[in-house]
């Protein structure tokens, strides 16, 4: 009887350990480099800080996330290459920039897609956003979800832009992605692709007349020091994507992966809330700097929408009709149509 009891206890112990679920003992010591283009104080970086805090908490202090904001490890395109090579472990950037790696990501760069951030959340967190994430591993990247940069607005140093014709001839810096380039060239500007890290200097020296970014970026990067005019065009909404190097990811066990995924999702909700609060605050701060802020009339906004329809048609063919149709279907569902 005694032997049977000892045997039963011996079998029960490992079974209990298995059914108790994963523990922090299964998490190894890791240090991650998490890079971004924006400076400390920007909602993007605030999200990174929250993520690092959550990872430390969820891993029992075993996984440390070191932050490298302000483009200290390079511009977005350079950082993507570093992730693919396993030199950097993580980054967060405009999802549309990935169209250079996976053409379907160009869909989120199409102009005038979303009416609100909440509408974009439903689409990016739903089947459409998930379908894009599934395309990344073949390129050496893993996506943990979408944060927010927000709606982009136009600034320049030459004159106020209150109508479509005012954009003609302006040298406008855009992100290094085909759709924004085509968008501003179609509106009559001369689009110039530049890394974000080089933008302030380009504005200061007059290499470009203007740029387009959300209000939080304009404030955080102090573009108001080298730009006189801002127009609330809201021509594009930028979901941000949180990326991990697949080389690094493949070396993690399931519990370590779960810690990073859980932290990215939790930080997402926090980051979006901060982003939307900061957008409104940033606009008020920009006005206080003396920058002249204009709003387009509904009629002029419609002129912009009509002018860029050829851009949507051209890139829909390049991105893939199925992808674009799926996107517009999800947008319709988000609007209850």
Task: Show pLDDT as tens, one digit a residue, over the chain (337 residues).
Answer: 444 444 444 444 444 433 333 445 599 999 999 999 999 999 999 999 999 999 999 999 999 999 999 999 998 989 999 999 999 999 999 999 999 899 999 999 999 999 999 999 999 999 999 999 999 999 999 999 999 999 999 999 999 999 999 999 999 999 888 899 999 999 999 999 999 999 999 999 999 999 999 999 999 999 999 999 999 999 999 999 999 999 999 999 999 999 999 999 999 999 999 999 999 899 999 999 999 999 999 999 999 999 999 999 999 999 999 999 999 999 999 998 7
Counting the structural domains of the chain, the total is 1
| Per-residue pLDDT reduced to its tens digit, 38-93 | 999 999 999 999 999 999 999 999 999 999 999 999 989 899 999 999 999 999 99
pLDDT (0 to 100) of residue 176? 85
Q: Which domain holds residue 239?
A: 30-334
CA distances from 234 to 10, 237, 286, 304 (A): 66, 7, 16, 11
Q: Give a yes or no: residue 314 inside a domain.
A: yes
DSSP string, 148-198: EEEEEEEEESS----SGGGGTT-EEEE-SSHHHHHHHHHTT-EEEE--GGG
pLDDT (0 to 100) of residue 177? 83
pLDDT (0 to 100) of residue 25? 54
Task: Compute the distance between CA of residue 146 and CA of residue 157 in angstroms, rounded to an integer.
Answer: 32
Q: Give a yes or no: residue 17 inside a domain.
A: no
Task: Compute the distance between CA of residue 54 and CA of residue 45 in angstroms, rounded to an integer.
Answer: 14
| Per-residue pLDDT reduced to its tens digit, 202-212 | 999 999 999 99
Task: Compute the distance between CA of residue 100 and CA of residue 98 in angstroms, rounded to an integer.
Answer: 5
What three-state secondary structure class fits 222?
coil
Q: CATH number, domain at 201?
A: 3.40.190.170
Contact yes or no for 162/293 (Cβ under 8 A):
no
CA 59 to chain centroid: 25
Task: Compute the distance between CA of residue 177 and CA of residue 196 in angstroms, rounded to an integer.
Answer: 12
Model's pTM, two decimal places?
0.86
Q: Is 321 exposed, middle or buried (0-12, 13-18, 19+ CB in 10 A)?
A: exposed
Q: Give a yes or no: residue 16 inside a domain.
A: no
Angle at CA of residue 23, ends 18 and 26, nearest 5°: 95
Q: Give a yes or no: residue 154 inside a domain.
A: yes
Q: Give a yes or no: residue 67 inside a domain.
A: yes
Q: Is 16 exposed, middle or buried (0-12, 13-18, 19+ CB in 10 A)?
A: exposed
Residue 67 has which token pair? 């932050």
């Amino acid at each position: 009887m005694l032997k049977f009891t000892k045997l039963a206890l011996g079998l029960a112990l490992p079974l209990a350990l298995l059914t108790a679920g994963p523990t922090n003992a299964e998490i190894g010591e890791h240090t991650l480099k998490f890079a971004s283009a924006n400076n400390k104080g920007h909602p993007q970086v605030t999200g990174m800080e929250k993520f690092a805090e959550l990872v430390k908490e969820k891993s029992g202090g075993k996984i440390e996330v070191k932050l490298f904001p302000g483009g200290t490890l390079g511009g977005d395109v350079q950082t993507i290459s570093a992730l693919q090579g396993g030199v950097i472990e993580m980054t967060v950037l405009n999802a549309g920039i990935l169209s250079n790696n996976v053409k379907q990501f160009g869909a989120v760069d199409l102009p005038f897609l979303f009416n609100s951030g909440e509408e974009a959340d439903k689409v990016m967190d739903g089947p459409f956003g998930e379908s894009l994430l599934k395309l990344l591993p073949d390129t050496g990247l893993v996506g943990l979800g979408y944060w927010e940069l927000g709606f982009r607005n136009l600034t320049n140093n030459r004159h106020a832009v209150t109508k479509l014709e005012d954009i003609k001839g302006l040298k406008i810096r855009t992100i290094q992605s085909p759709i924004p380039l085509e968008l501003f060239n179609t509106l009559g500007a001369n689009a110039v692709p530049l890394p974000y890290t080089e933008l302030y200097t380009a504005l200061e020296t007059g290499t470009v007349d203007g740029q387009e970014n959300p209000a939080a970026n304009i404030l955080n990067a102090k573009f108001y020091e080298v730009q006189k005019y801002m127009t609330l065009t809201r021509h594009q909404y930028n979901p941000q994507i949180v990326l991990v190097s697949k080389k690094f990811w493949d070396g993690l066990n399931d519990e370590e992966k779960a810690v990073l995924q859980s932290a990215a999702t939790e930080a997402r909700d926090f980051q979006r809330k901060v982003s939307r609060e900061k957008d409104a605050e940033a606009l008020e701060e920009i006005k206080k700097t003396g920058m002249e802020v204009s709003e387009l009339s509904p009629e002029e906004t419609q002129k912009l929408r009509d002018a860029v329809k050829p851009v949507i048609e051209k890139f829909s063919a390049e991105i893939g009709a199925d992808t674009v149709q799926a996107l517009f279907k999800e947008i319709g569902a988000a609007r209850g149509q």
